[in-house]
Amino acid sequence: MIPELINKFYEDKLISKNQYQSLSPLKKDYDKKLGNFLVDGGFITQKDLKTFFKENQDFLFQIFDKWMKENSKIANAIIWRSKDSNKSQNEAQNYNVWIEDKKHELSNTFWKALLDILPDLKDAPECTLNISDDGTVLSTDLNPDDAWIYYINYVAHSIRVEIDRLVHWSILRYNSEQLEFLLDSRTFFEYSESRDVYSILRWHESLFSHGSATIGDPVRIYDFLDSGNLIGITRWGTIGRFLGWIRNNLYHFDNGNTPENYEKHWQYQGYPPVERIISGTTHPENGFKHFTAGCWGTTGFIRIILKTINIPVLLEERCGHATPHFVYDKTHEFYLSHADDPYNSLFKHNTPQFIPLELIINRYKFDEWFNKDLPEKTICNNVGRRALELAVEYIPNEILKIYCDDISKGKTHEEGRMYNEIFREHIPLVDLNAFGFWDRLESKIKSLGGCEYILKEI
């Protein structure tokens, strides 16, 4: 689509012949988004870009719609579920059968994104709440108009990331399932016909589960990743960088999932807005932090953030906890053992810091630990296990302090806090012995000057 755009600029005499020759064929040898590149490079002014967009929407739609037809699996995956489909079955409508006005609206949103004519969506959309009898927030609900605006901005942004080559991977290589997790409206919110709202669902047994996080402006979220140097050459490396940011910044919130508690943490009564998690908020008692609503909030946060760079993520529920499932393909799928793992208190302020990607487990390990056919107690005991395995390997400072406290109280391995509070439910004593954990622990304490130093200085 970009070559046709540049040709049109030249035909309309918005750029000179020399500028046209330097831009055509446009290669991705610039480190900015296209609109910014054109303006900052002196090719065209921001005012002329906006005027061009307003006067050429039909032409731009023809280019956009042609690309959609040439990439039919993308068009097939762009699904808006609404009361306008089939009220009795809530049937889905993909892009191919949308009315022309909706197609044009998506096209216009895409071109504005590509030309860096910013949407400036609210960081937290207006919402209503579905609350249980005990005061827990069951869903954060958007009205249909707001849901549609946020949806098409995310879809347009996703296509813009592809066309402008803002990442090194391509959705054109994704299978239908991966595309669904990025582009189907139900992966943003589920439509409720009875209440005429689009619901962000923390967890639902039969509908799509989104986690406890509320969408924001995809452009600003992308800019957060880009400016923070969190986008790598590969999806794998990018996930690692982002998990590192989570480790260094996020804090588990206090108390329950009530509107009043959300208001205290994020100044918003619905699920935490991802942009406010990014920027941080001030709690009246706990001060300024990047709060997250526990494992459900972190999984929702990861899902929304990575959508903006075309990495699909699912939510997996086990034993009342949530964890992200990074969807690559049938043979390469990755997970955390618990979404709280990156900011586990054993590691957050301790040395050595783990390498974030070491938290990742593959599909075979996930199935070994969390297959739903396993006894519930086994599944529950494996929640967060990977972080504890890393604690056994790295022996962070917090482990040293707990063990030295046990020694000062004359506790044996089996009696002490170390085993009973940290490992007992996850890693049996016999396994700790087999790993040589206690010998390595005592050796590290000795190398640092003993327990007296550790309890006073670390």
Q: Is the alpha carbon torsion for 449, 454, 455, 456 positive or negative?
A: positive
The pLDDT value given to residue 110: 98
pLDDT tens per residue across span 226-267: 999 999 999 999 999 999 999 999 999 999 999 999 999 999
How many angstroms separate the CA atoms of 378 and 428, rounded?
A: 12
Q: What is the mean pLDDT of the chain?
A: 93
Q: Within the chain, how many helices (H) and strands (E) appear?
A: 22, 13
Q: Kindly report the pTM of this predicted structure.
A: 0.95
Per-residue HEC secondary structure of 265-330 comes to: HHCCCCCCEHHHHHHCEEECCCEEEEEECHHHHHHHHHHHHHHCCCCCEEEEEECCEEEEEEECCC
Residues 6+ apart with CB under 8 A from 310: 158, 161, 162, 167, 169, 171, 182
Over the stretch 363-390, which tens digit does the pLDDT of each residue have? Answer: 999 999 999 999 999 999 999 999 999 9
Q: Which of 346-355, 406-415, 430-439 has the lowest mean pLDDT?
A: 346-355
Instruction: Region of 235 please: left (phi>0), alpha (psi -120 to 50) or beta.
Output: alpha
pLDDT of residue 313: 97
Region of poorest pLDDT, from 53-67, 131-145, 162-176, 345-359? 345-359
Q: Which residue has the higher pLDDT, 433 or 347?
A: 433
In the predicted structure, residue 30 carries a pLDDT above the cut 80: no
Is the confidence at residue 189, as pLDDT, over 70? yes
Decide which of 129 and 84 is more confident.
Answer: 129
Residue 391 is which amino acid? A
| pLDDT at residue 332 greater than cutoff 80 | no
Which amino acid, one-letter code, is at 86? N
- C-alpha 177/C-alpha 182 separation (Å) is 9
Residue 352 preceded by cis peptide, ω within 30: yes
pLDDT band at 328 (very low <50, low <70, confident <90, very high): confident
Q: How confident is the model at residue 82 (pLDDT cuts 50, 70, 90)?
A: confident
**Confidence (pLDDT) at 331:** 64
pLDDT in tens, 138-176: 999 999 999 999 999 999 999 999 999 999 999 999 999
Q: Is the pLDDT of residue 458 over 80?
A: no
Of the listed ranges 11-20, 21-30, 289-298, 436-445, the least confidently predicted one is 21-30
The pLDDT assigned to 274 comes to: 98
Indicate the DSSP class of residue 214: B
pLDDT at 88 exceeding the cut of 50 = no
Residue pLDDT, tens place only, 289-317: 999 999 999 999 999 999 999 999 999 99
Is residue 282 scored above 60 in pLDDT? yes
Indicate if the pLDDT at residue 358 is higher than 60. Answer: yes
Q: What integer pLDDT is reported at residue 83 of this predicted model? A: 62
- Report the Cα–Cα distance between both ends of the chain, in Å, rounded: 58
Share of the chain above pLDDT 70, in %: 95
